[in-house]
Structure 1
Amino acid sequence: MAPDPASHVIVHPNVLYVGTPAFLVGSVNPNGTPNLAAASSSWALGSMLCLGIEADGQTALNIAARPGITVNYPSAPLWPALVRLSRLTGRDPVPDAKADRYTYEPDKFGAARLTPQDSELVDAPRVAECLLQFEAIVRRMTPGLSGEYFMVEAEVVRAHADPSIVRPGTDEIEPGAWHPLVYAFRHFFDRGVEVGWLPSSRMAPHPPVID
């Protein structure tokens, strides 16, 4: 039964994160040390990712100079690491716009209690604790209308997955085994139960059955 249109009310949410996977961006600082930042604005099309990256953070400076990055997807138990990173910045001095909320931290991996893992095709490290990791090359950075962020288009050049989320005998992610950390209205969630799939799925047992 369709909902009654009259039952909807006007709301004013302070953020529009309706439920997107959280991720961790690895990059390289000017002095060659690793940087790590938490983010949650992204979408994918083919081999391209479009990431929303804050313009005044160290990550934006790093990838403008060295376009090799990693995009690492934490599962639900790692949510405390994102909280630990949420008020830290790799920029020194801290930008004025962040001075009242952020603290400079040169060792973001250590602060997050995460482990850097060498990549194969880019200089930026992966996050060892993340079950799904992408190595990517930034192809374009487009300033947002407000000037507060960049839309970063990055081409995935290598994907790494823990065997626990790979369907045996294939190089495909097992959808039912993969539980990304979902960020919705500033709260973290585990992924819910599967309710269906598209006809184009290569992993489904049969075409979807719908009325």
Structure 2
Amino acid sequence: MNHRPPISTEIAPSILYFGTPVALISTLSLQGRTNVSPMSSAWALGDRVVLGLAQASQGCENFLQTREAVVNLPGPAQCAAVEALAPTTGRHPVPGHKQAMGYRHEADKFSLAQLTPVSSRFISPPRIAECPLQLEVRLLASYAATMVDGDDPGFVLLEAKVLQVHAHVDIVVPDSQHIDTGRWSPLLYVFRHYFGTGGRLGRNFRAET
């Protein structure tokens, strides 16, 4: 039997979230106001994480100004909390391009999503107790990406150093520094739909299908 490779076609998807973990970025403004930003553009290598945040977001502004943040990694149990935060922004007034997409201002995101702030060890922004993994980070460098169009301010790439990792006890291999990958299931964002390591859990308010 001859092996025939799969047939592919050329497409132009509106977004390229091909499957990345969701993160909730907690930051503080210079005035000490807490913000939580849902995002799904992050990757890690060694003790560094690189984040992609919308330049017009309050979380990005806070991170650039204070150079501190917590990268909180939710699991499937936090899916509803993530989606509750998805259409909100800490910016007031809401930027025009975000208003057009259905965003609204929310000052107290912890209360809205029913999440619990807990103190960090090395930095000022709080961690999110419900998230199984929490990374305290400090900003090392930032890079403003090219603007997409005249209405969208674009996004910023932020390189940060991980200062401390916090993990729920039940996902840590006993008597070790290792995550039990059989027990840890990240919340994944796949073309604006939420997945764990099993079936789909829900959909983002901006999902097209």
What interval of TM-score do these two structures reach, taking the shorter chain for normalisation? 0.7 to 0.9
- Report % sequence identity: 36
Letter of the aligned partner of 2:28 in structure 1? V
Unaligned runs of 5+ in 1: 194-211
Is the aligned partner of 1:152 residue 2:158?
yes
Instruction: Specify whether residues 141 and 166 from structure 1 end up closer, same or farther in structure 2 by C-alpha distance, changes over 3 A only.
Output: same
1:113 deviation in Å? Answer: 1.4
Closer, same or farther in 2 for the Cα pair 1:113/1:12, shift >3 Å?
A: same
TM-score normalised by length of structure 2:
0.87
Which amino acid is the alignment partner of residue 182 of structure 1? Answer: L
How far apart are residue 31 of structure 1 and its match? 2.0
Q: How big is the shift at 1:82?
A: 1.3
Please report how far the alpha carbon of residue 47 of structure 1 lies from its aligned counterpart in structure 2 after TM superposition: 0.5
The 5 A counterparts of 1:196-207 are none
* Residue in structure 2 matching 1:161, options 150, 164, 167: 167
After superposition, where does 1:85-124 map in structure 2 within 5 Å?
Answer: 85-100=85-100, 101-124=102-125
Tell me how far 1:177 sits from its aligned partner. 1.2
Q: 1:2 to 1:182 in 2, by over 3 A?
A: farther
Task: Report the alpha carbon displacement of residue 92 of structure 1 after superposing the two structures with TM.
Answer: 1.0
- Unpaired segments of 5 or more residues in structure 2? 148-152, 200-209
Cα distance change, pair 188–2 in 1 and its aligned pair in 2 (3 A): farther
Instruction: Using the TM superposition, name which of 44-53 and 91-100 deviates more.
Output: 91-100
The residue identity in structure 1 corresponding to 2:133 is L
Q: Separation in 1 of the partners of 2:3 and 2:80? A: 37
What's the offset of the Cα at 1:95?
1.3
CA 1:4 to 1:143, structure 2 compared with 1: closer, same or farther past 3 Å?
farther
Alpha-carbon shift at residue 6 of structure 1 (Å): 5.8
SS in 1 for 2:18: coil
What SS class does the counterpart of residue 81 from structure 1 fall into? helix
Secondary structure, counterpart of 1:175 in structure 2: coil
RMSD of aligned Cα (Å): 1.8
Change (3 A) 1:6 1:158: closer
